[in-house]
Amino acid sequence: ETGVTQSPTHLIKTRGQQVTLRCSSQSGHNTVSWYQQALGQGPQFIFQYYREEENGRGNFPPRFSGLQFPNYSSELNVNALELDDSALYLCASSLEIWTSGASTDTQYFGPGTRLTVL
């Protein structure tokens, strides 16, 4: 186990609703990244938070938003849900030092939240 937990495990919503997914990082990690994985595809980067600030964003619309808290836990919020938002949502935590200006740490993934939008 990686020490990264996510809740809930499964979630069913209808189009137009809003959802909040939660992630608890591995102890001591200061960075969290969120990914969306559609069935049969590799994960797609949504965004990353480093010390409570957004530190990069993928090609996702603004209705995908996030937060990182002082204890480094994190939330992913999705507004106005669409059918295509149905996917496995993964969070990953890491300890980034950024001394060399590069990310060098392994990312540790949680078990994911399976979101189904009807």
Partner 1 sequence: KQEVTQIPAALSVPEGENLVLNCSFTDSAIYNLQWFRQDPGKGLTSLLLIQSSQREQTSGRLNASLDKSSGRSTLYIAASQPGDSATYLCAVPPGNTGKLIFGQGTTLQVKP
Of 13-21, 31-39, 66-74, 75-83: span binding partner 1 (CB under 8 A): 31-39
Asked if 72 contacts 30 with a C-beta cutoff of 8 angstroms, the reply is yes
94 is an interface residue for partner 1 by CB under 8 A: yes
Handedness of CA 44, 82, 39, 24 (dihedral sign): positive
How many residues touch partner 1 under the rule CB under 8 A: the total is 34
Q: Which is nearer to partner 1, 15 or 51 (CB)?
A: 51
Of 11-19, 51-59, 68-76, 78-86: span binding partner 1 (CB under 8 A): 51-59
Asked if 48 contacts 93 with a C-beta cutoff of 8 angstroms, the reply is no
88 is an interface residue for partner 1 by CB under 8 A: yes
Q: Which of 24, 25, 26, 33 binds partner 1 (CB under 8 A)?
A: 33
Asked if 8 contacts 17 with a C-beta cutoff of 8 angstroms, the reply is no
44 is an interface residue for partner 1 by CB under 8 A: yes
- In whole angstroms, give the CA distance from residue 15 to residue 93: 29
Of 12-20, 44-52, 63-71, 76-84: span binding partner 1 (CB under 8 A): 44-52
φ, ψ for residue 69 (rounded to 5)?
A: -100, 165
Least distance (Å) between residue 38 CB and partner 1? 11
CA distances from 54 to 57, 62, 68 (A): 8, 13, 9
